Amino acid sequence: MPDTQSPREPLARAMTHALAYLDKLDTASVSATATLDQLRSRLGRPLAEDGVDASRVIDDLVADVDGGLIGSAGGRFFAWVIGGSVPAALAADWLTSTWDQNAGIYACSPAAGVIEEVCGAYLKSLLGLPPNASFAFVTGTQMAHVTALTAARHALLERRGWDVEQRGLARAPAIRVLCGAERHGTVDRAVRLLGIGSDSLVPLALDDANRMRVDALRAALDADRESPTILVLQAGELNTGAFDPFAELIPLAHERGTWVHVDGAFGLWAAASPGYKHLMDGAAGADSWSTDGHKWLNVPYDSGYAFVADARAHFASMTHRSSYMMHEGDARDQVDYNPEWSRRARGIASYAAIRQLGRRGVADLVDRCCFHARALVKCIGILRGAEAVWEPVINQGLVRFRDERPGASDADHDRRTDRVIEQILTDGEAFFGGVTFRGRRCMRISVSNWQTTHADVEHAVAAIERALATVSAGR
C-alpha cells in the first residue's frame, strides 16, 4: 500500500525538482521543444480507477511536462511582458498553498487579511498613489480593470440617481468609454463583461509618441456633454511603453465629471524609480488604477492590483453581506473589494517580494530592466539587416529585420522579420515575439525579469545575429 497520506515525500520531491529546474534555467532552451502531440500523449493518461502514490504523481508530472515549459522564469525571455519570480515571492507562494487559506474575509484568515492590508499600503506608497485609495488583490490587470470599472459604473450612475447594483444597466443612462486608439484588449473585455458593451468605446487619436492627444480628448468631451463618461489612460502602452500626458488630460476630464482610469499593467512601476517617475506626473490624480504584480514586481502568477481613489464607491459596488459570514470590527474583508468570493491569499507573495526588494530594490529592478531594454534595441539595431524601430521609453522597444535583396518590398521586410523571429525560437537561446506596429511587422523587446543580466543581453544579441545569418543565407 503506497503511503498516500504523508505530504513529506511529495513535497521533498517537488523541492528537488524545483531547484533542478531553476538551476537549469540559465542554460536550457527558452522555447518549448516538445510538440503538441508529444505533450498530449504523455499527459493524456486515461483517467484511472485507482489513484497512484503522491510522489509518483509529482515525478510523472515533471517528466511529462519536459520540453513543454517556456523559460519565461529566466533571464533570456523578452516576449510579451511576463516577469519571473523573486525568490522570496516564490517561496511565499509555496507557503500560500501550504497554508491553504481562504482569503475571502478576515474571519477566514486573519493573517492573510492583515498581510493584504499592509501590502496594499506598501503598494500605494511605492506607486505614488493616494494613501486613502482602496485596493483589491486580483488575478491580473484584466480583473483589476473589471474591479475598478465596476466602481466607476457605480459612481457615475449614482450621480444620475441610478442604483446600478439594484436596477442593472438595461434602462440606465448609456456610459461611454473614451480610450486610446492603441490599447490593451483587456480594456475592451472589461467593458464587455460589465455590460457596457464595446460599442461604447470611443478610440481617441494618439500622437507620434503614442500618447493620447489632448485635442482629441477635448473634442470627444465637447461632442457629448451628457453621457456618463469613463476615460481610460495608459501608463506604459503595450508596444512603445508610452505614457499619456496625465497632467494635461486628467484635469480636463475631471472638469466634465469624467471618471479617469489608468491601465498601468507594467508601466505604473515607473513610479517606483526616481529616474522614471516623472513619466507618471499627474497620474495620481486619476480615479482608479490597474497594475500587475506578476509582471514587473516579479511575483508568481496570478497577481494583479486594482486601486480606487473613492473607496466608498469601490466598497458600494462590490460589498455583500450574508448571514453566514462573519465580520469583525474594523478588520478589512477582502470580499468588500474583490469580485471573487473564496480566493487564494495571493497578497502573501506580493508582501514577500516587497520585503525582499525594499523600496531601493524595486527601483533598481525597474532601472535595470529599462537599461537592458535600451541596450538590446541599440545592439540589435546596429546588426547588419536589422533596424531599431522604437527606442524604449521604459522597458519596451521594437526592432525589425530587412530583406536586403535589391528591390525588396515592405512585404518582404515583414516576411523577413517573422522569419528571423521564428529562427530565434528554433534555436531556443532567447525568446522574442512579433507584432504589427503602424502597419509593419516588428519584433518586440520587453525586459521585465529580475534575472536578466548583461550576459543575457549579449547572449540574446549573439543568437539574433546567428538567426539573421541563417535566414539571409536562405538556410
The per-residue b/e assignment along 64-96, b for 16 or more CB within 10 angstroms, e otherwise, is beeeebebbbbbbbbbbbbbbbbebbbebbeeb
Q: What is the largest distance, in Å, between two alpha-carbon atoms of the chain?
A: 76
What three-state secondary structure class fits 263?
A: strand
Chosen residue from 55, 72, 134, 142 binding ligand PLP by CB under 6 A? 142
**How far apart are CB 184 and ligand PLP at their closest, in Å?**
3
Provide the mask over 78-97, with x wherever binding to ligand PLP is found by CB under 6 A and - wherever it is not: ---x----------------
**How far apart are CB 397 and ligand PLP at their closest, in Å?**
14
**How far apart are CB 298 and ligand PLP at their closest, in Å?**
13
The C-alpha atoms of residue 372 and residue 274 are separated, in whole angstroms, by 17
**How far apart are CB 438 and ligand PLP at their closest, in Å?**
18
- Taking CB under 6 A as the binding criterion, the range among 17-25, 261-269, 360-368, 380-388 that sits at the site for ligand PLP is 261-269
Q: Which three cell numbers stand for residue 109?
A: 484568515
The answer to whether the CB of 346 falls within 8 A of the CB of 137 is yes
The phi and psi torsions of 77 (rounded to 5 degrees) equal -110, 115
The answer to whether 239 contacts ligand PLP (rule: CB under 6 A) is no
Instruction: Single out the residue of 287, 211, 223 nearest to residue 254, CA to CA.
Output: 287
Is the Cβ of residue 162 or residue 266 nearer to ligand PLP in the bound state? 266
**How far apart are CB 85 and ligand PLP at their closest, in Å?**
15
Chosen residue from 266, 269, 390, 450 binding ligand PLP by CB under 6 A? 266
Please state, as a whole number, how many other Cβ atoms lie within 10 Å of the Cβ of residue 98: 10
Provide the mask over 371-410, with x wherever binding to ligand PLP is found by CB under 6 A and - wherever it is not: ----------------------------------------
The answer to whether 262 contacts ligand PLP (rule: CB under 6 A) is no
Which residues partner with 388 through β-bridges? 399
The C-alpha atoms of residue 367 and residue 346 are separated, in whole angstroms, by 26
Rounded alpha-carbon distances, angstroms, from residue 239 to 113, 183, 435: 36, 10, 8
Torsion of CA 324, 328, 329, 331, to 10 degrees: -120
- Taking CB under 6 A as the binding criterion, the range among 52-60, 126-134, 140-148, 200-208 that sits at the site for ligand PLP is 140-148
Chosen residue from 141, 350, 395, 423 binding ligand PLP by CB under 6 A? 141
The C-alpha atoms of residue 414 and residue 8 are separated, in whole angstroms, by 54
- H or E element that contains 206: none
Rounded to a whole number of angstroms, the distance between the first and last alpha carbons of the chain is 56
Is the Cβ of residue 416 or residue 444 nearer to ligand PLP in the bound state? 444
Residue with cell 497632467: 247
Chosen residue from 292, 336, 429, 456 binding ligand PLP by CB under 6 A? 292
Chosen residue from 244, 263, 414, 429 binding ligand PLP by CB under 6 A? 263
**How far apart are CB 446 and ligand PLP at their closest, in Å?**
9
Is the Cβ of residue 10 or residue 293 nearer to ligand PLP in the bound state? 293
**How far apart are CB 285 and ligand PLP at their closest, in Å?**
20
The C-alpha atoms of residue 394 and residue 83 are separated, in whole angstroms, by 15
**How far apart are CB 143 and ligand PLP at their closest, in Å?**
7
Is the Cβ of residue 242 or residue 316 nearer to ligand PLP in the bound state? 242
The C-alpha atoms of residue 437 and residue 398 are separated, in whole angstroms, by 9
Instruction: Single out the residue of 227, 301, 235 nearest to residue 257, CA to CA.
Output: 227
The answer to whether 304 contacts ligand PLP (rule: CB under 6 A) is yes
- Taking CB under 6 A as the binding criterion, the range among 137-145, 164-172, 382-390, 401-409 that sits at the site for ligand PLP is 137-145
Interacting residues with ligand PLP (CB under 6 A): 81, 140-142, 184, 186, 236, 238, 263, 265-266, 292, 304
